């Protein structure tokens, strides 16, 4: 994308105990309606999640996050929702729900490079800042760059 275009994004949140409202940011959903772009990046920091709820079923969390990746990619493997256009899938994924995977409110911006914007959002919203504001990978972090749509 060379010309600046508007985009929307939401932060994916893991809410291990919904009744407590505590959460860990685990990813970003990014959509650009003008070009049909829908992408997701997920980095599950297992240590941070288990600090909130030591009994958390991490296998279940991974399955739920994998389902989000499949829906973003679309196609037959994503079921009925995966057949919708990218923008409709974004709206479905960002609908308010009371579940262990939730999204922040949708935010908007304008950029000329969606890939760079995704990286910037991951640094600011998901990754734990290290010394001097740098992002640091914490022990127990599962970061898979191939887990993207």
Q: Give the tens place of pLDDT for each residue, 9-58.
A: 999 999 999 999 999 999 999 999 999 999 999 999 999 999 999 999 99
> What is the total count of domains within the chain?
1
- Asked whether residue 139 is assigned to any structural domain, the reply reads no
- Mean pLDDT (the chain) is 88
- Asked whether residue 132 is assigned to any structural domain, the reply reads no
The reported pTM is 0.85
- Left if phi > 0, otherwise alpha if psi is -120 to 50, otherwise beta: which for 132? left
- Domain containing 20 equals 5-127
Question: Which comes out higher in pLDDT, residue 1 or 80?
Answer: 80
Q: Give the tens place of pLDDT for each residue, 18-29.
A: 999 999 999 999
Distances (CA, A) of 133 to 34, 68, 82, 119: 33, 29, 37, 15
Q: What integer pLDDT is reported at residue 112 of this predicted model?
A: 93
Q: What integer pLDDT is reported at residue 130 of this predicted model?
A: 72
């Amino acid at each position: 994308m060379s010309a600046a275009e508007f985009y929307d994004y939401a932060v994916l949140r893991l809410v291990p105990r919904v009744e407590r409202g505590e959460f860990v940011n685990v990813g970003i959903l990014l959509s650009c309606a003008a070009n049909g772009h829908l992408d997701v990046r997920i980095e599950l920091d297992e240590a941070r999640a288990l600090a909130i709820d030591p009994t958390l079923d991490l296998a279940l969390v991974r399955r739920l996050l994998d389902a989000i990746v499949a829906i973003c990619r679309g196609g037959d493997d994503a079921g009925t929702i995966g057949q919708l256009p990218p923008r409709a899938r974004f709206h479905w994924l960002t609908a308010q729900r009371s579940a262990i995977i939730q999204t922040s409110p949708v935010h908007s911006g304008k950029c000329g490079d969606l890939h760079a914007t995704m990286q910037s959002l991951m640094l600011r919203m998901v990754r734990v800042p290290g010394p001097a504001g740098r992002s640091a990978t914490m022990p127990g972090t599962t970061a898979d760059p191939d887990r993207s749509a």
